[in-house]
């Protein structure tokens, strides 16, 4: 699984002129599901979304609180294009899970997120629809996370205590 997580002051998803979901302060999460993803990938990504310290604390110390600590909202949007490859200038999506299977997998991901957090604070877009996603990025802060089974560049990454791979460190 691959996700792009953006810290936001607000975010919303519309389809045409219809508002599907909106949140205030929290995280907007774009979710890419690859054809080889498993429930272990869901567990890993859910844990990271809920526990990475994106927010500052009461004492203005940066990177000290998670979305869970702050009880902020999360807006999830499925985005198969995160599982792309480039063949020259042509996009190739054969690493993405097919639409039928990925919808069920995405719903498993949402259920796992709701079970691990507050269900009323989890919102999502409309799977398989042409959506407009509007965000007000806070910072801006944007992180790309991958579950270990999809990380391709592990050799050049730094190992962390739980097996997570990162290419850089946030100060």
Which residues participate in catalysis according to the annotation? 79-81
Alpha-carbon gap, residue 11 to 73, rounded angstroms: 10
- Measured torsion, CA atoms of residues 152, 110, 65, 138, in degrees rounded to the nearest 10: 80
Alpha-carbon gap, residue 102 to 106, rounded angstroms: 6
Alpha-carbon gap, residue 59 to 164, rounded angstroms: 28
């Amino acid at each position: 699984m691959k996700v792009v997580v953006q810290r936001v002051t607000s975010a919303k998803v519309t389809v045409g002129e219809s508002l599907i979901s909106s949140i205030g302060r929290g995280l907007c999460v774009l979710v890419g599901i690859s054809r080889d993803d498993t429930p272990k990938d869901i567990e890993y990504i859910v844990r990271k979304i809920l526990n990475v310290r994106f927010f500052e604390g009461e004492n203005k110390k940066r990177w000290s609180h998670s979305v869970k600590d702050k009880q902020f909202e999360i807006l999830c949007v499925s985005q198969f294009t995160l599982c792309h490859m480039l063949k020259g200038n042509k996009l190739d999506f054969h690493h993405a899970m097919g639409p039928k299977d990925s919808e069920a997998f995405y719903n498993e991901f949402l259920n796992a997120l709701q079970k691990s957090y507050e269900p009323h604070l989890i919102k999502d877009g409309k799977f398989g629809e042409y959506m407009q996603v509007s965000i007000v990025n806070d910072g801006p802060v944007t992180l790309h996370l991958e579950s270990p089974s999809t990380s391709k560049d592990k050799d050049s990454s730094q190992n962390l205590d739980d097996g997570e791979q990162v290419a850089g460190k946030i100060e």
